[in-house]
Amino acid sequence: MPQKPSVASGHVPETAHQYRVLNDLQRIGLVEKRVGVPHAVTDAGKKVLEVGR
């Protein structure tokens, strides 16, 4: 079964819930907006993802 594009991989959010989650992650510094990319995981966000594995 093919997977849906992920917000975490840089795809544009499709639902209001995805926008809220993205805004929360941006507020705490795990995601940032960049030119040409709707959002990108910061170094701090990458460290959190590594710890969660």
pLDDT band (50, 70, 90) for residue 51: confident
pLDDT, position 7: 58
The whole-model pTM stands at 0.55
pLDDT, position 5: 62
**pLDDT tens readout for residues 5-43:** 665 666 666 788 888 888 888 888 888 877 777 678 888
Per the structure, the count of domains in the chain is: 1
Instruction: Specify if 5 maps to a domain.
Output: no
Instruction: Specify if 27 maps to a domain.
Output: yes
Residues of the domain holding 33: 12-51
Residue bearing the bigger pLDDT, 47 or 6:
47
Instruction: Specify if 44 maps to a domain.
Output: yes
Q: How far apart are CA 21 and CA 36, in angstroms?
A: 20
